Structure 1
Amino acid sequence: MKFIYNSILIVCICAMGNLHATEDNTPKTLEVALTTANQTMDSIQVEETHEKLVVALQEKQQAFEIRVYVLAGILLLLVFIFGILCFLNKRGDKRLEKIVSLLEKNKSQQKDSGEKNAKIDEAIVAAILENLQAFEKERGFLVSKITLYEFAKQLQTNTKYLSRVINTHKLKSFRNYINDLRVQYSIQKLENNANYRKYTVKAMAKEAGFTTAESFTKAFQKKTGETVSSFLRQTNELLSE
């Protein structure tokens, strides 16, 4: 009987121990479950927060890129406008320079025209014409290196008066006046001097006061319309008849 009592007591004690263990484990299980739930909730919140942060960062990135594009567009527009303004300014400067140049040229022409139209004293004109006549008679044009300045100095006048008198009364420039006198001298020599007709073109040019044969032939053809050789051939033919 005692054995049975003891057995029942042992069973009761074991049962009580199991119950107590069960009671002890139940809070732990709930705590674990709650912790797991909390962790799950935390993970969802973290994920949602992460997604929100990603979305916010993407929006900020897009906004930043938009601002960069806008600023770049504004910068390019300003550069373009600046280039146009520089082009227009440079073009305006060129137009202004052209206008100023035309005005100065017109002013210079008016000044030259006024100087040309200024009347020279008749006594001065008469003295220059008389000196030109003596110059032609004395064949001063045969001097090879004669210049307007030297000639004016020789006639005791200035280059402006001398040039205007030659232009007005001889109807040619100073250079053409001198060259025509030299060519006329050569023509007379070709027509009247048999030995001169035997000269080379270079020798003819030198005697007539030209520095080169080329300048002589150009001046000769300009005045006569013929080359030196052609004129010489025709002169020989006429004299042989």
Structure 2
Amino acid sequence: MLKKTTQILLFLLCSVFMKAQSSPDFGILADKAFQKIYQNPDDCINYSLSILISDQNNEHKIVLRNIISQAYAMKGDYVQSVNISSQKEESGEKETLSYFMQMFTEYNLADQYQNLDLYNQSQRIISNLLSDIKLLKSDNKKTKIIVAKLYQLQALNFGINRNTVSALENLDRSNQFLDNQNEENKIIGIENRLFRATYLLRQNKLEEAKGIVINVILDLEKEKDQPFLTALAYENLSKYYFFKGDYNSAIENLEKGLSKIENLPFNNLKMKIYESLSKNYFAIHNDEKYHKYNKLYSEIRTKIDASTKEGIRYIVKLVESSQNKSLEFQKQNQVNKFRTLVLIFSLIIICLLIYFLSLKSKNKDLKKQFDFFEKQKKKQKTFPANIDVPKEEKIITIDKIIEKDSNKISKEKEDEILQKLEEWEESDQYLSKNMSLSMLSAQMGVNTKYLSEVINNSKGKNFNGYINELRINHIAHLLKTDPTYLNYKVSYLAEFSGFSSHSAFTTIFKSVTGMSPNAYIQEISKNRTS
């Protein structure tokens, strides 16, 4: 008995000791991992993977995979970002998730869509989540962060569509859900301030924007190890000087920002800084530096574009696979319904036949008819040739009709696609080099075949001809209305318009306008001076 009691006491002491030695709270680990995204994405990935391997909690795994996905997105590696993000969809965990984690996974998908420039899909998810009163009124700190991020994403979507008023309103709403209790809250707050400055610059409120950015830089100087946010702040400040025409000050701030991240894999931000440096050096006629940074920009842009396209293809494939399964289910449903109708009809016939047989004993005439019917049945068995179409053939024929109808685009669907195209043409998204038929169909949530058919019928040209004409019309309008563009080289105009080469831009420009870009610029310049 004493021995048994001693064993129990030893077990309890070991349990207490092990509990005291257990790992820190997961919230602290996750907050540290999130902070590492902005310090060094590679360190973040390694750190998060080390926790992911040992943590068996499904919800913790989802949080860690999302952090890793964001780190890859910071690097511009969208293939890995989509791959790690899609694992949570394939893991079969969704049915057992808490309400918070269900909202978290939906937010992650919206974020992933936005990273891939699929803004319409992102906005649909965000609007649906923000219509949930339960989510908005939650006192849970983790839920409040999700709401703050959702409003931030919505602000970015409005900013992309040049609706700066709505973008600023959503940044205000995002800030209402932040409490600065942890690093994630603080980082989101700093990002919101920098995004606000960007939209104020677009509204030509230059001094107000400058004041915000300078205050952010002063705050970041007090923090330790915030290279990404500091570089982003200097990049924002350079825009102020660019708009003021002070290109040397813009260059000075861009180089300060670049020095913070030059040896870190923040490829998306590096690409923006390289592009801005090339523009500013071009403006002060420093051809050597212009070519240097334009080359760096082109190299990193090529890699990121390739990664983005591959990521889009992967995510579109997942969506189309899901849609195909849904269509297959609908077709199978139609076939099952038809078979049910055939069965019911057969049962009715059998019931009528039974009723007919029941009258046999009451009516001799009916009996004669029945005898005749029986003889005919025997003849049919002897001579199987029958002019009636067998039921199996009827089923096949109707299946073919159903299949044919399912492939036919309706007038309502065509009008819906045309309306979406008109709305899309109002944005500048067609200037992106990544724009393709599959990407546009994914953004609109429209079948690729239907979209191609509508463009061919309504625009009188294929997708490439359609988007190239939009690009040429856009740059031609800018050349006519904004004299700044008349000073740019044709190669820069081609790059700005989304064309892959100078020659392709020149050829298509002439086919649309009837003259070469240089001739068009000379004509515009002549009209301005006369």
TM-score, normalised via structure 2 length: 0.23
Structure number with bigger Rg: 1
TM-score, normalised via structure 1 length: 0.50
Higher helix share goes to which structure?
A: 1
